[in-house]
């Protein structure tokens, strides 16, 4: 480092230029700028011989490294803080641990995955597909992100690539895949994917649930699908290399003018480079092998060569869907977690269909505004029928009297928000008190304009407490039938007992 710095200094470069050239901090350059060779040698000697802050913990750290070879420097630092309350910089610990590993040859153990070479599938059998994204320079200045799909036929290694300037959707992906089939002139027997949300909703323990749009396209084209296990993209390594090839050999440092020009350049690149160079593994030219493999591809169905766009919308918890910043209702009870409806535009209306069954769920005229809630009256919750049934039930419990009907109607109007609770309480009143008390309480509430079940219950409690049980006159004529506590007779004492207590003859 010192000799390089000195040479650049002799060439007349400034400190900032030297720092950029050698990728050094400007403070480091200043430190050695005026230092002679002898001073630099003494500096190195001091660095090599000076004691370090972690030297007193050398044996402890070395013991940890030997016992736990995969331990990280961050964990070493945490343990030093825990056991020795050591305060030092993370970079210091990282360098010290790195030096110990080199000095004592202690390498981290790597759990190396065991791979097995697989024979190439038969011609026309398998195609691997993957997606990627990269950032490119625009011709107008600045940068933008573009998204690509890459495919490779597993036998011939024949490749296809296409890009879009918007994030991939299921419809965009299906159109790309359709053009890929047109490009290769047929359809393979099997397509290999990651568990991408564009393809599958759930692995479902092997009974895979595909996205609705992809399922329709899959059935129309007649290919099978092989999904890689979750978190195991290496099982489709051929196409992983293709996507990397697309990014670094084609897209890197290329100027983006417009999407049409970009994709045309990509197609030229496929013919010029990607499919014309000898493949490193097969030692064959993909384009030449493809001439034979093409004969084994299935023909493309004529009626389905251009897949149509399928637009879906998720049903929200409030039984609405979003379309162009507006909310459109669906019938109450439609919502289920994850439920999607197909959306179609017909004239100036949106029509929502159940997936697969093609049953119409809702139809709305498209609103020109923003943030508008567009409703159909038949989508709203109809509570009137349920409330009417509850009213009839409560009225029957109260005896179907005119006063009861008047009172319940008044309660329904006065306490409309809590009408279910009010009617439920009136049923309890009818159950807990005699009919006469209930009718008396209702009459009192109507007279006092108290249209509340709580007031009616309070009135019933009051009238019940005021009512006394009638006395049976016949009991007075027959003492023997009295209760035992009424048959008790008090003991009669002689008057002398009391006179003795008060003093006897002295009184």
pLDDT digits (tens, 9 = 90+) for 441-451: 999 999 999 99
Contact 170, 214 (CB under 8 A): yes
Quick: pLDDT tens for 287-300.
999 999 999 999 98
Nearest Cα residue to 134 out of 154, 148, 151: 148
Confidence of residue 173 (pLDDT cuts 50, 70, 90): confident
- Order of all β-strands in the sheet with 320-323: 320-323, 326-329, 373-374
pLDDT, tens digit, 9 for 90 and up, residues 55-109: 888 899 999 999 888 888 888 888 888 888 888 888 888 988 998 998 888 888 7
Contacts of 278 (CB under 8 A, 6+ apart): 284, 285
pLDDT value of position 415: 85
Do 290 and 158 meet the contact criterion of CB atoms below 8 Å apart?
A: yes
Query: Alpha-carbon distance 152 to 160, whole Å?
Result: 6
For 126-304, CATH number out of 3.60.110.10, 3.30.420.10, 3.30.43.10, 3.30.300.160 equals: 3.30.420.10
Q: Kindly list the distances between the CA atom of residue 464 and the CA atoms of 5, 330, 437, in Å, as whole numbers in the listed order.
A: 106, 52, 6
* Beta strands 143-153; 159-164: pairing state: antiparallel
- Name, in order, each residue with C-beta under 8 angstroms of 235's C-beta and a sequence gap of 6 or more: 228, 229
Per-residue pLDDT at 500 exceeds 90:
no
Other C-beta atoms within 10 Å of 327: how many? 17
Q: Is 254 exposed, middle or buried (0-12, 13-18, 19+ CB in 10 A)?
A: middle
Domains of the chain by residue range: 2-104, 126-304, 311-379, 384-466
From 368, 372, 285, select the one nearest 322 (Cα to Cα): 372
Count of alpha carbons within 13 Å of 11, Cβ hemisphere only?
11
Q: Is the pLDDT of residue 473 over 80?
A: no
- 179-204 average pLDDT score: 79
pLDDT in tens, 4-14: 877 888 888 88
Kindly report the pTM of this predicted structure. Answer: 0.47
Percentage of the chain with pLDDT > 90? 33
């Amino acid at each position: 480092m010192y000799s390089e710095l000195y040479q650049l200094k002799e060439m007349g470069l400034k400190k900032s230029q030297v720092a950029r050239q050698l990728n050094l901090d400007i403070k480091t350059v200043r430190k050695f700028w005026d230092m002679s060779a002898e001073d630099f040698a003494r500096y190195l000697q001091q660095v090599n011989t000076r004691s370090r802050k972690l030297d007193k913990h050398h044996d402890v750290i070395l013991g940890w490294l030997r016992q736990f070879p995969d331990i990280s420097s961050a964990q070493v630092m945490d343990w030093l803080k825990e056991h020795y309350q050591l305060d030092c910089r993370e970079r210091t610990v990282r360098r010290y641990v790195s030096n110990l590993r080199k000095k004592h040859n202690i390498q981290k153990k790597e759990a190396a995955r065991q791979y097995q070479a697989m024979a190439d599938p038969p011609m026309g059998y398998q195609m691997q597909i993957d997606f990627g994204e990269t950032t490119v320079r625009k011709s107008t200045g600045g940068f933008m992100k573009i998204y690509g799909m890459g495919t490779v036929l597993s036998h011939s290694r024949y490749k296809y690539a296409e890009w879009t300037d918007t994030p991939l959707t299921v419809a965009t992906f299906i159109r790309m895949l359709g053009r890929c089939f047109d490009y290769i002139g047929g359809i393979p027997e099997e397509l290999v994917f990651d568990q991408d949300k564009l393809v599958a909703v759930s692995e479902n323990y092997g009974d895979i649930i595909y996205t609705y749009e992809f399922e329709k396209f899959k059935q129309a084209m007649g290919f099978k699908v092989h999904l890689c296990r979750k978190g195991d993209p290496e099982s489709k390594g051929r196409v992983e290399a293709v996507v990397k090839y697309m990014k670094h050999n084609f897209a890197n440092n290329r100027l983006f003018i417009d999407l049409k020009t970009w994709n045309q350049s990509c197609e030229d690149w496929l013919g010029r480079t990607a499919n014309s160079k000898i493949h490193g593994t097969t030692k064959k030219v993909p384009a030449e092998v493809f001439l034979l493999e093409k004969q084994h591809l299935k023909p493309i169905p004529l009626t389905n060569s251009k897949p149509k766009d399928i637009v879906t919308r998720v049903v929200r918890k409030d039984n609405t869907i979003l379309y162009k910043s507006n909310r459109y209702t669906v019938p109450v009870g439609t919502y289920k977690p994850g439920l999607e409806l197909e959306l179609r535009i017909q004239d100036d209306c949106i029509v929502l269909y159940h997936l697969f069954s093609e049953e119409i769920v809702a139809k709305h005229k498209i609103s020109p505004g923003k943030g508008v809630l567009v409703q159909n009256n038949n989508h709203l919750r109809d509570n009137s029928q349920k409330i009417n049934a509850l009213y009839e039930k409560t009225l029957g419990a109260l005896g179907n009297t005119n006063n009861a009907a008047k009172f319940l109607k008044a309660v329904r109007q006065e306490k409309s928000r809590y009408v279910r609770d009010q009617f439920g309480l009136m049923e309890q009143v009818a159950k807990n008190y005699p009919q006469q008390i209930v009718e008396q309480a209702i009459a009192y509430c109507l007279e006092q304009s108290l249209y509340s079940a709580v007031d009616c219950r309070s009135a019933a409690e009051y009238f019940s407490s005021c009512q006394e049980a009638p006395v049976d006159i016949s009991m007075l004529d027959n003492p023997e039938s009295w209760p035992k506590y009424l048959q008790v007779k008090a003991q009669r004492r002689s008057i002398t007992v009391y006179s003795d207590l008060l003093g006897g003859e002295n009184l």
